[in-house]
Chains A and B, each alone.
Chain A
Amino acid sequence: EAGVTQFPSHSVIEKGQTVTLRCDPISGHDNLYWYRRVMGKEIKFLLHFVKESKQDESGMPNNRFLAERTGGTYSTLKVQPAELEDSGVYFCASSQQGEKLFFGSGTQLSVL
């Protein structure tokens, strides 16, 4: 069974550019989460999808971040325009309700 996959694994962009991160959850998992780890700090919750609906987006830092999950399958997280403080590792995770959480290996985003 394939795990949670994230693309790209690394992205280096300049301040002001746009970047889109993609997450493919495990097939059949209704829950999809985005987390972010800024260097030297905690992994912070960004948002939670149940199927295609946003269950909780309280962790989204500002309106430069847009997450979508059309059709309830894969999800994208777009940052537009990117700022220096957006640099970090973006993790995606998926689960069935109340069950174990499976994480992807993350996307390392560097904004220069």
Chain B
Amino acid sequence: GNSVTQMEGPVTLSEEAFLTINCTYTATGYPSLFWYVQYPGEGLQLLLKATKADDKGSNKGFEATYRKETTSFHLEKGSVQVSDSAVYFCALTLYSGGGADGLTFGKGTHLIIQP
């Protein structure tokens, strides 16, 4: 079956530190990959996505590259801010079209940024 594995949290960093949240996946086909973010008191929001190998998704200073050879989609940001504190979810879908039908999520990584 399909699954997503993320690094366990919470991850605590100081402001302006470099961030990496690891995500690896197993899938029976060629998935589209996503990172969702949930800020306190809000719903999940799509942060970025990549639909094929070697694609790089980016948004709000965050980046993730679809690595087929290592089945990974690690999330990175060069300099984090307190406002980045949230829970981050890696996800995949095997549905075509790059949409979000049938998402499989990881457990989520709670990121805490200290001033």
Contacts and interface: CB of A to CB of B under 8 A. Distances in A.
26 contacts: A31-B101, A40-B107, A42-B4, A42-B105, A42-B108, A43-B44, A43-B105, A44-B105, A45-B102, A45-B104, A48-B102, A91-B44, A93-B44, A95-B101, A98-B97, A98-B98, A98-B99, A99-B99, A100-B99, A101-B99, A101-B103, A103-B36, A103-B44, A104-B43, A105-B41, A106-B43
B46 A101 contact: yes
Interface of B: 4, 36, 41-46, 89, 91, 97-108
B23 to A, nearest CB: 12
Nearest to A31: B101
B43 A91 contact: yes
Nearest to A102: B43
A42 B99 CA distance: 20
Contacts, number: 58
Interface residues of A, number: 26
Contacts of B102: 45, 48, 56
A4 B101 contact: no
Contacts of B46: 100-101
Kindly name the residue among A37, A95, A99 whose own CB sees the greatest number of chain B CB atoms within 10 A: A37
Nearest to A95: B100
A37 B4 CA distance: 14
Contacts of B41: 105
Contact of B99 (A35, A56, A97): A97
B87 to A, nearest CB: 10
A61 B98 CA distance: 27
B89 A3 contact: no
Interface in A1-37: 3-4, 31, 35, 37
